Structure 1
Amino acid sequence: MYLADEAWPDLEAYFESETLAIVPLGSTEQHGPHLPLATDHLIAEAFATEVAERTGYLRTPTVTIGVSPHHRQFPGTAWVDPPAFRDYVESFVRNLTYHGIDRVVFVNAHGGNVQHLREVGRRLRDDDVAYAIEWMWDESIPDLVDEAFARNGPHAGPKETALIQHLRPELVHDDRFAEARDGGAPNPEESVRVRNGAATFYDAVENSDNGAFGDQTDANAETGAELFDAASDQLEELCEWLAARDWDELRAPERVSREG
């Protein structure tokens, strides 16, 4: 069920019977010379839509702008400052709690959002109003992702390329795969700037001239479909698990005492 497509009487019926919502979040930022700026939020929305259709749980509109200042040197990248992002997402979830939602799955496809979504989740649980957890597709199937590609990459690499080939092939510049690999960071572990245990970079361009990491020539739509199905299974199981929890199981634990 997609919230924005429904009339309010139908949503009233949902809120009377269910307490879980799926919130997709991503970014609008550079993804190398071969993928659209929409890559992250397209991926997040696709997973959220798939699992909402499988389960009947409510999917909200997608948050398409995230915390992306580390990609700002590339034309078109959009971002919001971290405090604004956290406050916006928290306010949005509190709106959902007004209607009866008390558990949320953040279907997130942008690494720059992770720590901020975790912070929002902590705020909401500490206030005893909602239990919100962050989910990323590749973290749910790490072995499959590792086995699928010889040279993966954390950003604009073959895993994201394969997913967009599967989901929105018309937006992929297949003829630029070699350019993305050769002008970027085909071996991310060798390109990331670390000195004496400290990361000596803040922006993606400091590690990759064109913003891409890994070997994009290894990607294909068939692998993207396999990864999408496997990760969708994981998200479906997570939603069902969370929906089945008693609220007392989700509350913050009491303060520890030596007495017992």
Structure 2
Amino acid sequence: MKFQFENSFEVKEKILEKLVAILPIGAVEAHGPHLPLGTDNLLAERLSEKLAERVNAFVLPTLPYGQVWSLKDFPGSINVSNQSLIRFIVDIGKSLYHQGFKVFVMVNGHLGNSVAMKEAARELYEWNPELKVMYLFYPGTDQVVSEIRETPPSHRSYFHACEIETSYMLYLAPEFVNMKKAISDLPKIPFRADFTPTPWREFTQSAVLGDATLASAEKGEKVIRVALDHMVKLIEQAKEGN
């Protein structure tokens, strides 16, 4: 159920019945020639909607800007700082608690947001530990990803506009994917990139980290199903106070 379409006269009772607010958080950044700039927003929003159906939650309007420092030099990318993102999330969390929500779930569509989301969750915990806060980015999917992947990952911890992310889009938002323009780009990411600021322009001109031509909706569905199962379990535990 989408929160923004409720009205003030009826929403309070629904909040007290649901208790869970889901905030999709994405980004606007380059995703190769076959995916739109708002890929991370679409993934976070569509995934949040599926999650809300299973846990009887409200879906908040998507927070559409993220920390995209690594890709800020690519055409179309819009970057906000971690500090800005933290402040936005903390303010939203406090407002949600004031309105009666007990569980605040952030569904992340962009790995670069993770640091800010974790820090915001910690700040909210220090403010009031009664508000259960979660930051979720495809939890528990390492094994299924390794099973469906046909090419080795370009990096051990992140993926981008590749076989994996394009598969997510083909399952969750296929109308925004142009597979005729999908490419294979397997850049060599320098070891130092994990330890010092390294703009992606130094190792890729496409922003694609893998073979997007191998993507399929079937692969995306397998991973998303696993992620949703883990998300549901975590939220149900939080609702029970665990």
Q: TM-score, normalised by structure 2?
A: 0.90
The structural deviation recorded for 1:59 is: 1.4
Write out aligned runs for 1:41-190 (5 A). Answer: 41-128=41-128, 130-137=131-138, 139-151=139-151, 152-153=153-154, 154-177=159-182, 180-181=183-184, 184=185, 186=186
The structural deviation recorded for 1:210 is: 0.9
What's the RMSD between the two structures over aligned residues?
A: 1.8
For residue 236 of structure 2, what is the aligned residue in structure 1? 240
The separation in 2 between residues aligned to 1:215 and 1:237, in whole angstroms, is: 32
The separation in 1 between residues aligned to 2:33 and 2:7, in whole angstroms, is: 41
Stretches of structure 1 that go unaligned for 5 or more consecutive residues are 250-260
Residues 198 and 103 from structure 1, CA distance in 2 versus in 1: closer, same or farther, beyond 3 angstroms?
A: closer
Percent identity of equivalent pairs: 28
For residue 194 of structure 1, what is the aligned residue in structure 2? 191
Write out aligned runs for 1:24-39 (5 A). Answer: 24-39=24-39
For residue 215 of structure 1, what is the aligned residue in structure 2? 211
Report Cα offsets for 1:123-173 as digits up to 9, x if no partner: 010112523121011x42110011111224511111110111122223212
The separation in 2 between residues aligned to 1:91 and 1:222, in whole angstroms, is: 38
Residues 87 and 198 from structure 1, CA distance in 2 versus in 1: closer, same or farther, beyond 3 angstroms?
A: closer
| 8 Å contact kept, 1:39–1:164 | yes
| 8 Å contact kept, 2:43–2:173 | no
In terms of Rg, which structure is larger? Answer: 1
For residue 252 of structure 1, what is the aligned residue in structure 2? none
The structural deviation recorded for 1:55 is: 2.2
The structural deviation recorded for 1:200 is: 5.0
The structural deviation recorded for 1:122 is: 0.5
The separation in 1 between residues aligned to 2:148 and 2:45, in whole angstroms, is: 23
The separation in 2 between residues aligned to 1:20 and 1:174, in whole angstroms, is: 36
The separation in 1 between residues aligned to 2:214 and 2:115, in whole angstroms, is: 30
The DSSP-based 3-state class of the residue aligned with 1:9 is coil
Report Cα offsets for 1:12-40 as digits up to 9, x if no partner: 11233343211111111111121111111
| 8 Å contact kept, 2:27–2:65 | yes
The DSSP-based 3-state class of the residue aligned with 1:147 is helix
The structural deviation recorded for 1:198 is: 6.2
Opposite residue 38 of structure 1, the aligned amino acid is G
Q: TM-score, normalised by structure 1?
A: 0.84
The separation in 1 between residues aligned to 2:119 and 2:9, in whole angstroms, is: 33
The DSSP-based 3-state class of the residue aligned with 2:23 is strand
The structural deviation recorded for 1:10 is: 3.0
State the aligned residue count.
236
| 8 Å contact kept, 1:193–1:201 | no
Opposite residue 174 of structure 2, the aligned amino acid is P
The DSSP-based 3-state class of the residue aligned with 2:22 is strand
The separation in 2 between residues aligned to 1:219 and 1:59, in whole angstroms, is: 28
Opposite residue 243 of structure 1, the aligned amino acid is K
The structural deviation recorded for 1:201 is: 4.7
The DSSP-based 3-state class of the residue aligned with 1:65 is coil
The one of 201, 210, 221 equivalent to 1:225 is 221
